[in-house]
A and B are shown apart, each in its own frame.
Chain A
Amino acid sequence: MHEVSIALRILDIATEHCKREGFSRIESIKVRVGRASGVMPEALLFAFDAIKTGTVAEKASLTIDEIPIGGFCSSCNSEFSVEEPYVLFCPKCGETSFRLNTGRELDIQEMEVF
């Protein structure tokens, strides 16, 4: 539901960057969104398209790299990765002694500018 706020931040960061480096047009922006970040990729794409009109990113495409939840379990000494938005126990051994390393990402990676 807060994807519009997130899209506005992406646009702000990208526009600022463009201005600072002296570019006038953004062709594409690539972001990473973790599955446990609370952001729905479809809603973010929709929001971004709605707010980019009249900006240097008017023609820009947004590409979302979805990052699954991944962690390391110290009980079975192995790494795991799941598609769900949360993990309650290690999907390999069922124990709860794990720590999560990925899945909360929400960042801009790169953009193509002219």
Chain B
Amino acid sequence: MKIKVVTRIMEANDRIAAENRKFFDDAGVYVINIMSAPGAGKTSLIEKTIREFGNQVKVGVIEGDIAGTEDARRIEGLGIPVVQINTGGACHLDANMINEALVDLPLKDLNLLIIENVGNLVCPAEFKVGEDMKVMLLSVTEGDDKPLKYPLMFQESSALILNKIDLLPYTDADVGKIRKDALSLNPSLKIFEVSCKTGEGIGEWAEWLQSLVT
């Protein structure tokens, strides 16, 4: 016999994401979900941002990786509360993984929780985790064709950070094209150009983020 089910496949994830979000709101912590390809500089951006904040913003970090604790160690070195999630093969973080990691963080003492997603330009965009905003990081060395190749990521994000701009003289990447295509996909996207190597542009990004948090 045929039965009509009509159920959204992401419903369970979205429900847990909403629970996480309520938990964050009750604790008064702003949450961002940083997504990028592997090696774009997510952990470096988090380190630079935390340094830029100094003592003005109390930050906690959740690190998502398939394996290893390399990233969490780097953040721990800054004296910041950090939880490492090893997805054991999964290419993205989902709401349930974040839910389970929350007990290990002093949420009530934090203003900002930064979630570093697994390096991947496809899947993380599909899974809400309870964040206030998704932030996408694209390094210019990845090429200016990325917005049109991975449109969902650009559509889901509130901010786009272009990293490694110190390397622009050595690449053929056209920042104007990245901006134009990204804004066509998402007209309200806020775009920053930074170099985690030289520190250029970090101040402007950190200031904007801080204005949202406090």
A joins B in a complex = yes
- Give A contacts to B, CB under 8 Å: 1-2, 5-6, 9-10, 12-14, 17, 21, 31, 36-39, 85-86, 88-89, 96, 106-114
The reply to whether B152 and A38 contact each other, CB–CB distance below 8 Å, is: yes
Q: Is B4 an interface residue (CB 8 A)?
A: yes
Q: In the complex, how many angstroms separate the beta carbon of B117 from the nearest chain A beta carbon? A: 12
The reply to whether A1 and B123 contact each other, CB–CB distance below 8 Å, is: yes
Q: Is B142 an interface residue (CB 8 A)?
A: no
Q: In the complex, how many angstroms separate the beta carbon of A81 from the nearest chain B beta carbon? A: 17
Q: In the complex, how many angstroms separate the beta carbon of A69 from the nearest chain B beta carbon? A: 10
Q: In the complex, how many angstroms separate the beta carbon of A87 from the nearest chain B beta carbon? A: 9
State A96–B181 Cα separation when bound (angstroms). Answer: 12
Q: Is B8 an interface residue (CB 8 A)?
A: yes
| 19 intermolecular pairs with C-beta atoms under 8 Å apart | A1-B91, A9-B10, A13-B12, A17-B3, A17-B5, A36-B152, A38-B125, A85-B151, A86-B152, A86-B155, A88-B148, A107-B6, A107-B9, A108-B6, A109-B5, A110-B2, A110-B5, A111-B2, A111-B3
| In the complex, chain B residues 1-32 whose Cβ is within 8 Å of any chain A Cβ | 1-13
Q: Is the interface of B mostly helix, strand, loop or mixed?
A: mixed
Q: In the complex, how many angstroms separate the beta carbon of A5 from the nearest chain B beta carbon? A: 7
Central interface residue in A5, A6, A106, by most chain B CB within 10 Å: A5
- Give B contacts to A, CB under 8 Å: 1-13, 90-92, 94, 120, 122-123, 125-127, 148, 151-152, 155, 181, 184-185, 187
Q: Is the interface of A mostly helix, strand, loop or mixed?
A: mixed
Partner of B8, one of A14, A88, A106, A112: A106
State A106–B9 Cα separation when bound (angstroms). Answer: 6
Q: In the complex, how many angstroms separate the beta carbon of A96 from the nearest chain B beta carbon? A: 7
The reply to whether A96 and B7 contact each other, CB–CB distance below 8 Å, is: no
State A53–B214 Cα separation when bound (angstroms). Answer: 51
**A86: chain B residues within 8 A (beta carbon):** 148, 151-152, 155, 185
Closest-by-CB residue of B relative to A31 is B9
Closest-by-CB residue of B relative to A3 is B123
Beyond the given pairs A38-B152, A110-B2, A114-B1, 12 more chain A to chain B contacts, judged by CB atoms under 8 angstroms and listed by A's residue number, are A10-B9, A13-B7, A14-B5, A37-B126, A38-B122, A38-B123, A85-B151, A85-B152, A88-B184, A88-B185, A106-B10, A107-B9
The reply to whether A36 and B92 contact each other, CB–CB distance below 8 Å, is: no
The reply to whether A108 and B120 contact each other, CB–CB distance below 8 Å, is: no
The reply to whether B9 and A6 contact each other, CB–CB distance below 8 Å, is: yes
The reply to whether B126 and A2 contact each other, CB–CB distance below 8 Å, is: yes
**B12: chain A residues within 8 A (beta carbon):** 9, 12-13
**B151: chain A residues within 8 A (beta carbon):** 36, 85-86
State A78–B8 Cα separation when bound (angstroms). Answer: 29
The reply to whether A107 and B7 contact each other, CB–CB distance below 8 Å, is: yes
The reply to whether A89 and B184 contact each other, CB–CB distance below 8 Å, is: yes
